Amino acid sequence: MTKALYIGAGTDILPVIVNPDIKNFIYIDSQPKSQYGDLGFGEKLFFCKNFLDNLNNIMRNNNFKLIENSENYLKYFNETTKQTINYYINTVISDKITKTLKNIIETCNILICIGHDPHKEILNYIKKPFIFIGSVHTCYKIEQNNIDKQENSTFIELYNNPSLAEEYRLIKDKKYYDFLKHDKINNKIISNFDIVKFNNLKDLEVIRKKTFNEFYDF
């Protein structure tokens, strides 16, 4: 069974909609307690008060029904596509992954990295070789002067060990698309994207950057 892991997922449902063949998703995010991982976690200043309302609205608008709601866990199901999203909220991924999270990650063989470079510790537990899914809207090249980020970077690990993934997929925009104006993904929006496959993250980043510059680098 294929199962996709998406850390720092926020309210992003697009990877689910454009990958209807993937039926099970594990979403993990530190929100609503903080949108910056363990930075300010639990502090009132960093609490994202609208996160859950926005998340539930987006899920509902895309025909995902909330079928379970317990402490720090939400489960959504789409009766039409038979896709399930298991969402672990208020959850931080670091070098000290809990046994529960390890068990969850060990069931996944797809890694979605969009908007966030997860802690490389997850690579010790995800099934390998896995499928990597990225987006035009995330840079996958780490600047050499950012030493702290390099030490914990999943992206750097994949640059150095591309065989950890059997395939690298890019959700590639075919024209300009304003993500901020849509909370319902329809067929017209889906037609705006292609899934392009690569053998490594380096080649993916070349095309990602070229596409981004074409449509979004104003």
pLDDT tens digit string along 121-167?
999 999 999 999 999 999 998 765 555 567 889 999 999 999 999 99
If you compute the radius of gyration of the chain from its CA atoms, what whole number of angstroms results? 17
Average pLDDT over residues 24-32: 92
* pTM as predicted: 0.92
* Residue type, position 78, single letter: N
- For the chain, the straight-line distance linking the first and the last C-alpha, in angstroms and rounded, comes to 42
CA–CA dist 186, 63 (Å, integer): 11
CA–CA dist 194, 208 (Å, integer): 12
